[in-house]
Chains A and B, each alone.
Chain A
Amino acid sequence: MTTNKEYLLIEREKEWRVELRKKIANKERTTKTRTQMPELDPFVRIRYQDREVNTGLTEKQAVAEASRCLDCPNPTCIDGCPVSINIPKFIKYIEQGSFLEAAKTLKETSALPAVCGRVCPQEKQCEATCFYTLKLKKDPVAIGHLERFAADYERESGSMSVPEVASPNGIKVAAIGSGPASLSFAGDMIKLGYDVTVFEALHEIGGVLKYGIPEFRLPNKIVDVELANLEQMGVKFVRNFIVGKTASFDDLKEEGFQAFFVASGAGLPRFMNIPGENYNGIMSSNEYLTRVNLMNAASDEFDTPIIKGQNVAVIGGGNTAMDSVRTAKRLGAERAMIIYRRSRDEMPARVEEVHHAEEEGIEFLNLANPVEYFADSKGKVNRMRVQRMELGEPDASGRRRPVVIEGSEYDIPVDLVVVAVGVSPNPLIPSEVKDLKVTKWGTIVVNEETMQSSIPELFAGGDIVRGGATVILAMGDGRKAALAMHQYL
């Protein structure tokens, strides 16, 4: 991997990089303003569930943005990236116009750059530790947008580099779940020559990338290209197969699988357990998004139904809440509201998504919390009661704790409520494997370096280990597990 400082320095001293640095003075670089990502007009985009909001930088814009990067001797941006992408190297390739080389650089460390460029919370990661942010107090280099540019360029060029695969070693390994953790694990293991099978419970491969994150943020076709790539490299995908149910670990061992990577995600939705929460028209964000994204429920041609609300309330302030509320808007809601118990500053969602949601006319009822739901005679929700909150002292997480304002309740008419207040680890595997060590939250306990669980041949990563986390962290886990499993076998 590229964490190695020496390696970074050697790369940096290559002639082409030195030349490029000389071409434009740093002073000049720092006076340039950050290139804005072109996006679809909000009035247009809210009519389409499947049109991507960000349309991508043009070549010219990408080169211009890349020229802002100072190619720092101590590239602090890399410290912010969970998989330590060699950020200045790929950006300088873009500045030079060698877009395919930039994409190749990304792939040295990231299995799904087109995905991460779109969904990473960059403002909290690489861009938060960019020299511009830290020292110059200016807008950081748009690392995420550039990452997306390079990956898209490569995909659209039709000359995607399929990584070299070692000759098969005949050792069978399995990945459980097909989210980003498994995909990056599978990519690394197949390169090392293993016989890799990915088992997925649902009828589609991709995990949250498919059933959760909507098309307007991450088009399915982008994920599909990556899947096709993996398939081409020899990874086998088995759909409709629940490990622990369809077959046990022992069955799979008998069939020759020698080690397992469990990446079954944090699929269990949480509810708030308040009165009326089981009325019709109140559902988890997982249900709402799965119906729309996985089952195509919004289209009349598909059989799965969806409730298209006029007054939609989404409870929560994370990415899942933003995705749900923006989906509701696209399905025709007149009022699509976020109801969040803290203030905007504490929202865990990506800043860009909150910004896009505002542009699209989403209402934000911050410092408000639902306390009860009411329904019509048929049990369909028609009203909710919310309580106002104010911010008190910071809690353990460092965020200021919301405190109830007594007597502040008021009612809001609603006909669809989506609860997006978090997820718990998928309990299936932990409950099917005796002796597997889990925490009191139900996440699988692993050695942080090797991702190995209390059962030696069983490794784990992604949300089943971390609780609801991020795509890039899940991918990082997949890579670590692959390396460690290779050493173990």
Chain B
Amino acid sequence: MTQIVEKVLFSEKVAKFIVDAPRIARSRKPGHFVILRVDEKGERIPLTIADADREKGTITLVVQKMGVSSAKLFELNVGDEILDLVGPLGKATHIHKVGTVLACGGGVGVAPMLPIVQAFKQAGNRVISILAARNKDLIILEDEIRKWSDEVIVMTDDGSYGTKGLVTAGAEMVIQRETVNECIAIGPAVMMKFTSLLTKKYQIPTQSSLNAIMVDGTGMCGACRVTVGGRTMFTCIDGPEFDAHQIDFDELIMRLGGYSDEEKLASERYF
């Protein structure tokens, strides 16, 4: 059982949870994620470890309400318990000093991006972060990202905050303005696909953290398989981060819809 020690609502659909997980707080590295199951009937869902406090023995998760499982978690409050939580999973991000890093985060993808931004900054890089979302309410973790960035650009689809436009517009502006040595793109699969196409054009090495559908998270089931450089990889053990220019995003997008009929039924039953 894992206790929730703090909950902060970012918007109607996005919340931050700080949970008690001393072991994971100690062993996790940027890029790692956990898998949790809210209750007996629950699904195992992956969530990135957005932050951790070794002293307090806590980790931070940011969750966006999507379907039944994320909604169940979203509704929990301080003092409530999560039945199962396991981690840290996945490969840690390869952090190194490269010069200037452009970090593009879309929607809830900013959560997994936060620890990576922090680590790149601490490794001595110049970090420019772009936060993008459909509207102002969906921009999350802005203060935390600012703390570890030399510059932050906010983009919204409807112009309700920051500059109006897609994440790629902001990214291209930066790329044309100065030398970018490495790019990170994390967010909805479509957003990562187009960001990756852009940076490929400019030949900037790019990493993306994929949100494939998972079950166990330990390499046992293959639900999370993606094609990278023509080879089938398992997101949970070979990733979740891959060289974005090698990822078959269209396949990823297709596979994310793999259970959409079943999920729709589940939502109808639940909501």
Chain A CB within 8 A of B215 CB = yes
Contact check, B43 vs A271: say whether CB atoms are below 8 A apart. Answer: no
Contact check, B222 vs A202: say whether CB atoms are below 8 A apart. Answer: no
A-B contact number at CB 8 A: 120
Q: In chain B, what residue has the closest Cβ to A248?
A: B27
Distance in angstroms from A347 CB to nearest chain B CB is 23
A203 to B215, CA, bound (A): 12
Contact check, B88 vs A246: say whether CB atoms are below 8 A apart. Answer: yes
A14 to B86, CA, bound (A): 54
Chain A CB within 8 A of B99 CB = no
State which of A47-55, A124-132, A296-304 sits at the interface with chain B: A296-304
Contact residues in A for B215 (Cβ distance below 8 Å): 287, 290-291, 295, 304
Chain B CB within 8 A of A240 CB = yes
Contact check, A287 vs B24: say whether CB atoms are below 8 A apart. Answer: no
Contact residues in B for A284 (Cβ distance below 8 Å): 221-222
Contact check, B86 vs A283: say whether CB atoms are below 8 A apart. Answer: no
Contact of B222 among A240, A283, A295, A380 (CB under 8 A): A283
Contact check, B225 vs A242: say whether CB atoms are below 8 A apart. Answer: no
Contact check, A245 vs B43: say whether CB atoms are below 8 A apart. Answer: no
A163 to B258, CA, bound (A): 49
Contact check, A378 vs B27: say whether CB atoms are below 8 A apart. Answer: no
Chain A: how many interface residues by the 8 Å CB criterion?
44
Contact of A306 among B23, B219, B222, B262 (CB under 8 A): B262
Contact residues in B for A378 (Cβ distance below 8 Å): 254, 257
Distance in angstroms from A323 CB to nearest chain B CB is 15
Q: A273-B232, A280-B257 are in contact. Are A267 and B222 (CB under 8 A)?
A: no
Contact residues in B for A201 (Cβ distance below 8 Å): 86, 216, 218
Chain A CB within 8 A of B175 CB = no
A332 to B11, CA, bound (A): 42
Contact check, B222 vs A242: say whether CB atoms are below 8 A apart. Answer: no
Contact check, A290 vs B258: say whether CB atoms are below 8 A apart. Answer: no
A454 to B69, CA, bound (A): 43
Q: In chain A, what residue has the closest Cβ to B24?
A: A246
Contact check, A278 vs B218: say whether CB atoms are below 8 A apart. Answer: no
Q: A302-B41, A306-B262 are in contact. Are A202 and B219 (CB under 8 A)?
A: no
A357 to B86, CA, bound (A): 37
Chain B CB within 8 A of A468 CB = no
Chain B CB within 8 A of A268 CB = yes
Contact residues in B for A256 (Cβ distance below 8 Å): none
Q: In chain B, what residue has the closest Cβ to A305?
A: B262
Contact check, A267 vs B218: say whether CB atoms are below 8 A apart. Answer: yes
Chain B CB within 8 A of A327 CB = no
Distance in angstroms from A268 CB to nearest chain B CB is 5
A380 to B259, CA, bound (A): 10
Chain B CB within 8 A of A178 CB = no
Chain A CB within 8 A of B188 CB = no
Distance in angstroms from B48 CB to nearest chain A CB is 15
Distance in angstroms from B173 CB to nearest chain A CB is 34
Contact residues in B for A290 (Cβ distance below 8 Å): 215-216, 220-221
Contact residues in B for A301 (Cβ distance below 8 Å): 41
Contact check, B222 vs A287: say whether CB atoms are below 8 A apart. Answer: yes
Contact residues in A for B87 (Cβ distance below 8 Å): 242, 245-246
Contact check, B221 vs A245: say whether CB atoms are below 8 A apart. Answer: no
Chain A CB within 8 A of B68 CB = yes
Residues of chain A from 256 to 279 with CB closer than 8 A to chain B in the complex: 267-269, 271, 273, 277-279
Contact residues in B for A295 (Cβ distance below 8 Å): 43-44, 215
Contact residues in B for A307 (Cβ distance below 8 Å): 259, 262
Contact of B88 among A203, A245, A296, A379 (CB under 8 A): A245
Chain B CB within 8 A of A249 CB = no
Chain A CB within 8 A of B89 CB = yes
Contact residues in B for A269 (Cβ distance below 8 Å): 220-222
A201 to B220, CA, bound (A): 11
Q: A246-B23, A248-B27, A278-B255 are in contact. Are A303 and B68 (CB under 8 A)?
A: yes
Distance in angstroms from B123 CB to nearest chain A CB is 23
Distance in angstroms from A10 CB to nearest chain B CB is 46
A203 to B44, CA, bound (A): 10
Contact check, B257 vs A428: say whether CB atoms are below 8 A apart. Answer: no
Contact check, A286 vs B27: say whether CB atoms are below 8 A apart. Answer: no
Contact check, B269 vs A300: say whether CB atoms are below 8 A apart. Answer: yes
Chain A CB within 8 A of B6 CB = no
Residues of chain B from 55 to 81 with CB closer than 8 A to chain A in the complex: 68-69, 72
Contact residues in B for A296 (Cβ distance below 8 Å): 41
**B residues lining the A interface (CB < 8 Å):** 23-24, 27, 37, 41-44, 68-69, 72, 83-89, 215-216, 218-223, 225, 227, 232, 237, 251, 254-255, 257-259, 262-263, 266, 269
What are 16 A-B contacts with C-beta separation under 8 Å? A201-B218, A203-B37, A246-B23, A267-B219, A269-B222, A271-B222, A278-B255, A280-B258, A283-B223, A302-B41, A307-B259, A307-B262, A378-B254, A379-B251, A379-B254, A428-B219
